Amino acid sequence: MTNPSAVGDLLVAMVDESLLDDVTRCAAAAGYRVVAADPATGRRAWTDATAVVLDPSSAAAVADAGWPRRAGVVVVGPGPLDADLWRAAVRLGAEDAHVLPDADHAVVGVLSRLRLPHRGAGVSVAVVGGHGGAGASVLAAAVATRAAEDLAGDTLLLDLDDLGGGVDLILGIEESGGLRWPELTVDSGQVVAASLHAALPRSAAGVTVLAPRRGVDHVVTADSARAVLEAACAAGGTVVVDLSRRVDDVARAVVEVVDLVVVVTTATVRGCAATCEMSGRWQSVTDRSGLVVRGPAPGGLGASVVASTVGLELLAAVRSDPRVVHGLESGRLPLARRSSLSRAADTVLDRVLDLTAVGA
C-alpha cells in the first residue's frame, strides 16, 4: 500500500468491492487520490488520510477495535438508509451517512468540504425592511461593504428580496458577469464556498453578490438559501442577507440560522406601526434582532421612541444623506468612513461579532 503520509488529499476506502467504484468516482470528482484498505491493515491510514470512507461492516470493525475518533469520516452503503448505516456513522462520529450510487453528489460535496482549510465559523446578518422603502437593501449593501473592507475572510451578499430593485444595482455591478440565482444549482447541499465566490460578480470593495437575474422567473428554495449561507459561514466568511419581508419558508430558514436579524424602519408613525407587525412575526423564531431607524423624522419621532414602541434593541439611527441618494441614482454606493450610514453598518457588525463571541 502507498504510504499515506506521502500523498496529499488522500482518501482511504474501507468498503466492499461492490462499492469501491462508486467511492473512487466520488473521490476523484472531489480531488482525492484513493487507496483501498481494510480494518486489519488500515490503522496507519486511519490517522494520516484526509478522509476515510467506510461501509457499515468496516465501520463496526473499526469501532470495535477502539480506534480513536477522527474528523473526515463518511459512511456509505448500497441502501437503504437503515438503522445499521446510521448506527455505524454515529459510533464513529462520522460526518454523514449516504447511500451509493443514489447520493453520489452529496458524497462529493462532503468530501470537497473536507479538503478546504478550516478557518472557523464566520458571521451572518439578515437585513429586512419593517415596511416598503425603509432602506434595508442599502443598509445590507453598506454592511457587506464595510465587512469586506475590515473583516477577515470573504464577504457574500445574498439578495433574497425578489421584489426589490436588486443589491447588485446598488453596488453598480448589475452588468458584471457571473452567476445569478437561476444559474446556481445546489444539489443535496453541495456548495463549496471558494468556488462560489470565484463564480459570482464582485464589487469594487470586494463583496461577492448572489442576486436574482432580471427578467428571469426563478424561485429560490429554502434549502438552497440555507446551503449557500452555511457554506460561506463555515469557510470563515461574512454573509449579509437582503431579506424579503414575506414570511415564507426561505425567510424562516434564513432567520433561524443567522447570528443577527436587523430590522430597518423610517422614523414615521406609519413606518413604526408597520414595523411592529413585521417584527412580531419573528419573535418565535429568533431572539437575536435589533433595529436601525432611518431619518428624517418629519413629525419629530425619535429613534429611541421608535425602538421602544417596536420592542427591539436600537442599534443605530441613520441620518438622511443627499450624497447617498445621488450616488445610488448614478449606480454607486458612496460610503465615507465617517458617514452616518457607514457608522450604522459598523455598529451592526460590532453587534454581530459580540453575539458570536458570546456564543462561541
Output the DSSP codes for 193-261.
HHHHHHHS-B-TTSEEEE-PPTT---PPPHHHHHHHHHHHHHTT-EEEEEE-SS-SHHHHHHHHH-SEE
Residues 110 and 158 in one domain: no
The label of the residue with cell 419629530 reads 300
Instruction: Kindly state whether residues 335 and 211 are assigned to the same domain.
Output: yes
Q: Are 143 and 62 in the same domain?
A: no
Same domain, 317 and 174: yes
Domain boundary (60, 80, 115) is at: 115
Same domain, 163 and 205: yes
- Percent of the chain whose pLDDT exceeds 70: 92
* Residue 89 clears pLDDT 80, i.e. is over it: no
- Give the Cα-Cα-Cα angle 291, 280, 299 (nearest 5 degrees): 50
Convert the pLDDT of each residue in 53-66 to its tens digit: 999 899 888 888 88
Beta-carbon contacts of 16 under 8 Å, excluding residues fewer than 6 positions away, are 55, 57
Q: Are residues 332 and 250 in the same domain?
A: yes
The tens digit of pLDDT for each residue in 8-25 reads: 588 899 999 999 999 999
Where is the domain boundary, 64, 94, 115?
A: 115
Q: How many structural domains comprise the chain?
A: 2
Lowest mean pLDDT among 91-100, 197-206, 244-253, 258-267: 91-100
Can you tell me the mean pLDDT for 30-44? 88
The pLDDT value recorded for residue 7 is 42
Whether residues 111 and 251 share a domain: the answer is no
C-alpha–C-alpha distance, residues 18 and 68, integer Å: 27
Range of 199's domain? 123-359
At 6 the pLDDT is 37
